[in-house]
């Protein structure tokens, strides 16, 4: 069995994070710091993103702001523990 050289470059957690951010960015997913996301820490949904997605995704179906808010309210009714697959 070959011994590993201590001269090999170590791959740190910061380097891994940076590499993943770069890969996701290349796929069109922007990096946003957690503190820049507009939501309360206990909230699961990022409502602004969900509103924007629904408006764009269902624009040809003429989704209304009221329908979008109804979807958000329906999702808010779910327990975050249930969404994460955690047993209550």
**Residue 45 in 3-state DSSP?**
coil
CA nearest neighbour of 40 among 30, 32, 29, 48: 48
pLDDT bracket for residue 83 (50, 70, 90): low
Per domain, the residue ranges of the chain are 13-83
Written as six digits, the tokens of 9 are 């470059």
Residues ≥6 apart with Cβ < 8 Å to 72: 45, 47, 50, 51
Residue 15 has pLDDT above 60, yes or no: yes
More confident residue, 67 or 45: 67
> pLDDT tens-digit profile of 29-52?
989 888 888 777 777 788 888 999
Name the average pLDDT for the chain: 83
pLDDT given at position 35? 80
Task: Write down the pLDDT at residue 2.
Answer: 53
């Amino acid at each position: 069995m070959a011994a590993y050289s201590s001269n090999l470059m170590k791959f740190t957690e910061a380097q891994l994070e940076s590499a993943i951010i770069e890969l996701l960015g290349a796929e069109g997913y922007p990096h946003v710091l957690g503190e820049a996301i507009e939501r309360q820490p206990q909230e699961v949904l990022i409502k602004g993103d969900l509103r924007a997605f629904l408006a764009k995704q269902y624009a040809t179906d003429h989704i209304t702001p009221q329908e979008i808010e109804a979807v958000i309210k329906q999702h808010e009714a779910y327990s975050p523990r249930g969404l994460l697959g955690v047993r209550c």
